[in-house]
Amino acid sequence: MNFKKELEQNELFEKVASAAKKLNLETFVVGGFVRDLVLGRPSKDLDFTCVGSGIALAEEVVRQFDYHVPLSVFKNFGTAMLKVGESELEFVGARKESYRSESRKPIVEDGSLLEDLERRDFTINSMAISLNSENYGELLDPFNGMGDLQKKIIKTPLNPEVTFSDDPLRMMRAVRFASQLEFDIDPDTFFALAQYAHRLRIVSAERIIVELNKIILTKKPSYGFKLLFAGKLLHEFFPEMVELQGVDSVDDKSHKDNFYHTLQVLDNVSQVTDNLWLRWAAIMHDIAKPATKRFNAKVGWTFHGHEDKGARMTPAIFKRLKLPMDERMRYVQKLVRLHLRPIPLVKDEVTDSALRRLLFDAGDDIDDLMKLCRADITSKNDKKVKRFLENFDKVEQKLREVEEKDHVRNFQPPISGEEIMEALGLEPSKIVGEIKEEIKEAILEGKIQNNPEEARRLMLQLAKAKGLVNS
């Protein structure tokens, strides 16, 4: 690859190079940008390392832009950042100690470029391209990152024990890069990762979840989860998922391995959505199976109520993992709770009221629920899979027909609490809620149509029956 030519594509590099020349600072573009350039992946973030003050260099770059770009300086960390259009440029002096852009620890000692590169996480992230006039565009690759990019290998530049103890989050990053790039982890690096997995305990949940979510958003997340499991990292922060693994047998009857089933569901759903929370719903859908597992001599293994218990387990797991506790959690919880509901609806004799109830309970998330249910079909028998999917086609058709007729997907009460109070001369009280609830039930049951006239008529009947008005 002709790096000089690549740099010429972007005038930013020329600006940084002339700033560096003016200050007589050896300067390089390093890390993720170099990796992504070789891989042909777009990258907006540019990291520059100079031997000297990164802040002084950034200030000079700003001058090169006639001060038209905003600069943020983080004195404690010796870094400076500036935004040029879509790109974020970070400047830092080469350091002797571990490089962590998100570290709160102030930097300690200046170092050479080689010292800086060797304290980075992986060989593929430890390459630099020179911006200095004597060798502009030359690749500096002391740990053969190019070779590892070609071999598709994630490997630490130093002894993995040293690299991982500098920052144990790097064990998660190893899996994340392997999943994103579809690379293998070098055996020695993986061996160390499995050995030091317990050190993840000193890493904050906030940092772990960033990497985990990136793994979940890859094309085939099962790969990342299998690595997390094999390396025992998953055991450190998500024991409930580890519990899913394993098969019990009694009297020759065994159940499926729910860990690998869950991963299959996650891969399936990932083929049809990039929605992180729908992917989370796939991860969580059977989470309560271990807790609800029973053996019954007649029917074999059962997991009664795992959907409700799973929904109840969701908030605590989200809280611990520092996932959001807002509508995104409630969405996952809802899909977990409802994930079995479409199954009985495949029967021919299904009633409209059962369909209406599901539409009412799922609301606008009905389509996502159906995606999850389809993904949940993981039989190895292709004929069976085809038949089940066709059954769900029919369910969706029935749901569409009922929705067109009854509009309960976005159910708004056809008569409000205020209207009930006004019509019946009531003060705010429990009885108003009861009447509203009974009207809703009557609509879902199909006893009345979903419109204000019928709702009013029923309201008056109920009021009479409750002795609220004279007949």
Interacting residues with ligand CTP (CB under 6 A): 31-32, 45, 47, 99-101, 120-121, 125, 167, 169-170, 173
Bridging pattern class, strands 184-185 and 87-93: unpaired
Closest contact distance (angstroms) between CB of 20 and ligand CTP is: 20
Q: For residues 4 and 198, give the distance between their C-alpha atoms in angstroms, rounded to a whole number.
A: 43
Q: For residues 385 and 378, give the distance between their C-alpha atoms in angstroms, rounded to a whole number.
A: 7
Q: Closer to ligand CTP by CB, 57 or 181: give it.
A: 181
Contact 243, 327 (CB under 8 A): no
Q: Closer to ligand CTP by CB, 169 or 463: give it.
A: 169
Answer left, alpha or beta for residue 14, where phi above 0 means left and psi between -120 and 50 means alpha.
alpha
Q: Closer to ligand CTP by CB, 105 or 253: give it.
A: 105
Q: Closer to ligand CTP by CB, 43 or 353: give it.
A: 43
Question: In Å, how far from its chain's centre is CA 261?
Answer: 19
Classified as helix, coil or strand, 271 is coil
Q: Closer to ligand CTP by CB, 173 or 356: give it.
A: 173
**Alpha-helical runs (H) found in 47-199:** 54-64, 113-118, 145-151, 160-166, 169-181, 187-196
For 103, 179, 328, the CA distances from 166, given in Å and listed in that order, are 11, 22, 34
Q: Closer to ligand CTP by CB, 45 or 257: give it.
A: 45
Q: What are the structure tokens assigned to 72, written together?
A: 């943020």
Q: What are the structure tokens assigned to 50, written together?
A: 């100079």
Across 15-86, the runs of DSSP E, i.e. the strands, are: 27-30, 45-50, 71-74, 79-84
Residue nearest to ligand CTP (CB): 32
Closest contact distance (angstroms) between CB of 270 and ligand CTP is: 19
Name the CA radius of gyration of the chain, rounded: 30
Q: Closer to ligand CTP by CB, 32 or 137: give it.
A: 32
Q: Closer to ligand CTP by CB, 43 or 264: give it.
A: 43
Closest contact distance (angstroms) between CB of 348 and ligand CTP is: 51
Closest contact distance (angstroms) between CB of 211 and ligand CTP is: 9
Q: Closer to ligand CTP by CB, 169 or 329: give it.
A: 169
Q: For residues 345 and 112, give the distance between their C-alpha atoms in angstroms, rounded to a whole number.
A: 67
Concatenating the DSSP letter of every residue in 108-148 gives: --B--HHHHHHTSS-GGG--EEE-SGGGTT-EE-TT-HHHH
* Residues β-bridged to residue 254: 249
Closest contact distance (angstroms) between CB of 411 and ligand CTP is: 43
Closest contact distance (angstroms) between CB of 298 and ligand CTP is: 53
Closest contact distance (angstroms) between CB of 193 and ligand CTP is: 14
Closest contact distance (angstroms) between CB of 56 and ligand CTP is: 21
| Residue among 50, 133, 41 at smallest CA distance from 92 | 50
Q: For residues 276 and 273, give the distance between their C-alpha atoms in angstroms, rounded to a whole number.
A: 8
Closest contact distance (angstroms) between CB of 96 and ligand CTP is: 14
Concatenating the DSSP letter of every residue in 198-215 gives: GGGGGS-HHHHHHHHHHH
* Residues β-bridged to residue 153: 184
Q: Closer to ligand CTP by CB, 6 or 352: give it.
A: 6
Closest contact distance (angstroms) between CB of 103 and ligand CTP is: 8
Q: Closer to ligand CTP by CB, 31 or 414: give it.
A: 31
Q: What are the structure tokens assigned to 374, written together?
A: 């389809």
Q: For residues 10 and 5, give the distance between their C-alpha atoms in angstroms, rounded to a whole number.
A: 10
Closest contact distance (angstroms) between CB of 280 and ligand CTP is: 20
